[in-house]
Amino acid sequence: MKYQVIIIGGGPAGYTAAETAGKGGLSVLLIEKNSLGGVCLNEGCIPTKTLLYSAKTYDSAKHASKYAVNIPEVSFDLPKIIARKSKVVRKLVLGVKAKLTANNVTIVSGEAQIIDKNTVRCGEETYEGENLILCTGSETFIPPIPGVDAVNYWTHRDALDSKELPASLAIVGGGVIGMEFASFFNSLGVQVIVVEMMNEILGGMDKELSALLRAEYAKRGIKFLLSTKVVGLSQTEEGAVVSYENAEGNGSVIAEKLLMSVGRRPVTKGFGLENLNLEKTERGAIRVNEKMQTSVLGVYVCGDLTGFSLLAHTAVREAEVAVHSILGKEDAMSYRAIPGVVYTNPEIAGVGETEESALAKGITYQVIKFPMAYSGRFVAENEGVNGVCKVLLDEQQRVIGAHVLGNPASEIITLAGTAIELGLTAAQWKKIVFPHPTVGEIFREVL
């Protein structure tokens, strides 16, 4: 069978590419070996946020008296929280399938095997395509720590489905995934310890705000071991033993459960990628241009496989650009304003340059910073909660970065991302009329 576009992988990049191509009138084949929606929808973005919202609701109920609302007994039902998470995922997966079907996308379940740039096999069938879009996503990376194979550890997938709470949880890795699970389990009363090799949690986020978030969670009982290397793992009847070393020497912690959350890496094996002989970057990622084209004509790479940004929203935009290129529409990928969000409570979000990245690039910048209390809406809805908004300007007073600690950072960060992408100066951005009262007004106050 022949198609104008063959897409391997049905995650955010794959299903967006398929839908966009279908809407553009192209004949499209999408091959997915697991479930439509990929990691993000089935075991990442959506399920974790569903769990975190339950935890946030529980937190709000526990502290309702701050808002003159009395709730005598607050409790939660973990099996029902997990069941609701599964229901949300099922609903959204069906929604993705419905959109693809409505746009005449042919969906095939199974493992794809690339024969060459125009030929893909899946099961007993062989398909021919004019264009090939690779959206194979990423997988959990488990570092080769001595003893790791002998420990009954959790990955994020296991943590999402556990219907019983451990008394204690050790998390190896203080990145986004690690901190979101730390937040969830801490809210439900689990003793949590986070072991992080770097000198601060959330490596890619603004360090000052990351430190403030860490301090907040330390007050809530989470223990952090920073600049700490895990050197060994072992299993006992009491739980998992994490042996580590840091500037203070060697030590160990024991917890009923261990969550390995060191990071993710692009999926590059098992589907015949080597048969394309694509040019790679110095870091081993697939080299693409601003149209997501690889070194082989007619082959595009989108999402985690580029190795640039392992974020669903980046993948979605890359997929649009790739299909627009196939359709002959003028478009180009920009990474100038890719938001990053951590859905803890409070949330932390950032877009554009951090102080650290600006310094590394030799960019002269100015920082303007205000407490979130300058927003009346924030004060009304966050009794006794502190937050910070920080904006970075370059020498021409253009907005080059923005970072927010405080709810709902995830919802307002796009305001700053738009300003960065459009190259607005502080004065130009301030001319935009913000509705009052909103938390997003904090950007006007900062400027």
On whether 196 is known to bind a ligand per the annotation, the reply is yes
Number of H helices, E strands in the chain: 13, 21
Rounded Cα gap, residues 255 and 166, in angstroms: 9
Rounded Cα gap, residues 390 and 445, in angstroms: 11
On whether 180 is known to bind a ligand per the annotation, the reply is yes
On whether 321 is known to bind a ligand per the annotation, the reply is no
On whether 304 is known to bind a ligand per the annotation, the reply is yes
CB atoms within 10 A of CB 170: 27
On whether 179 is known to bind a ligand per the annotation, the reply is yes
On whether 123 is known to bind a ligand per the annotation, the reply is no
Task: Return phi, psi of residue 62, to 5°.
Answer: -65, -30
Rounded Cα gap, residues 127 and 178, in angstroms: 40
436 is a catalytic site residue: yes
On whether 197 is known to bind a ligand per the annotation, the reply is no
Which residue pairs from 229-238 have beta carbons closer than 8 angstroms and sit at least 24 positions apart in sequence?
A: 229/197, 230/145, 230/172, 230/195, 230/197, 231/145, 231/146, 232/145, 232/146, 232/147, 233/145, 233/146, 233/147, 233/148, 233/150, 233/151, 233/153, 233/258, 234/147, 234/150, 234/151, 235/150, 235/151, 235/152
Q: Please tell me what DSSP assigns to residue 25.
A: T
On whether 178 is known to bind a ligand per the annotation, the reply is yes
On whether 49 is known to bind a ligand per the annotation, the reply is yes
Beta-carbon contacts of 21 under 8 Å, excluding residues fewer than 6 positions away, are: 4, 5, 7, 28, 105, 323, 326, 327
Tokens 């409790």, located at residue: 75
Least Cα distance to 232 among 220, 214, 215, 250 occurs for 250
Least Cα distance to 284 among 292, 274, 293 occurs for 274
Rounded Cα gap, residues 89 and 82, in angstroms: 11
Q: At how many degrees (to 10) do helices 176-187 and 45-62 cross?
A: 40
Residue type, 352: G
Task: Return phi, psi of residue 106, to 5°.
Answer: -85, 125
On whether 155 is known to bind a ligand per the annotation, the reply is no
Which residue among 63, 313, 403, 436 is the active-site one?
Answer: 436
* 8 A C-beta contact, residue 285 and residue 309: no
Per DSSP, helices labelled H in 254-375 are: 312-327, 355-361
Tokens 């219907």, located at residue: 163
Annotated binding-site ranges for FAD: 49, 136-138, 304
Q: Which residues are catalytic?
A: 436
Which residues are part of a known binding site?
A: 49, 136-138, 173-180, 196, 263, 304
